[in-house]
Amino acid sequence: MLSVQQLQINGRRGDLLPATSLQVRRGELLLVAGEGQDQRTALALALSGRMKPSNGVLSWDTTTKTKKIRLASALVDSPGVNEPEQHLSVRDLVTEDLSLIPRRYRGALLSKPWLKVNSFEDIAGLWIEQIPAARRLELLTALALADPATDLLVVDSPDRHSADQAAWLPRLQALASDAGRPLAVVAVVSALPDNWTGAAAVIGNSVTHPPEPETEAAPTQAKPAVVVEPATEPATEPKAKHAAQPAPETSAAAQAESENLQRTAK
């Protein structure tokens, strides 16, 4: 079983491969969706032991050693990595790929017998660019499985050659469910087929986002207390300590009586 936990690869400016987790067993086809070609290729390279991850754990059966994972896996049709050149003939491609198989398994480096045994004589005289998408995938997967040590098949973006899923999905399902040689098959695609109900994963499914800081409620400002000022009484001018008293009026009768007394005294 292939088990991947938070596999991540650093890039120049950001993650070339964001943290991704998945697992696939022999006899199973796993589809992994990813929008960017760079991310899909990085994942395919890492799963097949051809690129060392920056973080995470990748294991095949009981080993985590990259070299052993690479020996047990085959990377198929990866853009810019091992996709066949368009101007290459089918015969030359077969000869080249057979030369990469360990000598004890490959036999004679002749394309003609292999093409005949594997039923590819109908396209033997074509250029790679002339092969229909379905036949192209059949040819490349057959070449990958020419090495009997291959138990894990990683196919990079098979849907880029045709918008019709029938050009690649049935072939991969048949390889995974082959009772004579059950394989763990991973196809990294741009999008999952609408009717797909099998095992699936998404690139970046283990990315953890830091928790957003809690927004503290703004402290409620206390309304200023209403100060009730005492009513202001109208100011009264202080009374003078010694107010002038009005002089008593002298009546005319009293004055006349005083004059009479003065005359009598004389």
Phi, psi dihedral angles at 10 (to 5 degrees): -75, 145
Quick check: is 241 in a domain? no
Place of tokens 């006349």: 256
Region of 59 please: left (phi>0), alpha (psi -120 to 50) or beta: beta
| Confidence check: pLDDT of 63 > 50 | yes
Give dist(CA 132, CA 61) in Å, integer. Answer: 35
Question: What separation, in Å, do the N-terminal and C-terminal C-alpha atoms of the chain show?
Answer: 161
Q: How many domains does the chain have?
A: 1
Give dist(CA 72, CA 68) in Å, integer. Answer: 6
- In CATH, what number is assigned to the domain containing residue 175? 3.40.50.300
- Contacting residues for 104 by C-beta, under 8 A, at least 6 apart: none
| Confidence check: pLDDT of 75 > 70 | yes
Phi, psi dihedral angles at 75 (to 5 degrees): -95, 125
Give dist(CA 201, CA 155) in Å, integer. Answer: 15
**Between β-strands 184-189 and 55-60, what pairing exists: parallel, antiparallel or unpaired?**
unpaired
pLDDT at residue 13, rounded to an integer: 84
| Confidence check: pLDDT of 199 > 60 | yes
Quick check: is 168 in a domain? yes
Quick check: is 207 in a domain? no
By CB atoms closer than 10 A (0-12, 13-18, 19+), residue 12 is: exposed
Mean of the pLDDT values across residues 226-235?
52
234, 242, 246 from 237: Cα distances, Å: 10, 14, 20
Quick check: is 99 in a domain? yes
The closest alpha carbon to 42, from 184, 188, 140, belongs to: 188
Quick check: is 18 in a domain? yes
Q: pLDDT grade, residue 52 (50/70/90)?
A: very high
Q: What is the pLDDT of residues 112-133, one digit of tens each?
A: 999 999 999 999 999 999 999 9
Range of the domain at 17: 2-202
Please list, residue by residue across 222-248, b when 16 or more beta carbons sit within 10 angstroms of its beta carbon and e when fewer do.
eeeeeeeeeeeeeeeeeeeeeeeeeee
The closest alpha carbon to 32, from 203, 185, 183, belongs to: 203
Mean of the pLDDT values across residues 21-49?
97
Place of tokens 């703004």: 218
| Confidence check: pLDDT of 228 > 90 | no
Quick check: is 228 in a domain? no
Quick check: is 211 in a domain? no
pLDDT at residue 49, rounded to an integer: 97
Quick check: is 240 in a domain? no
pLDDT at residue 10, rounded to an integer: 96
pLDDT at residue 249, rounded to an integer: 47
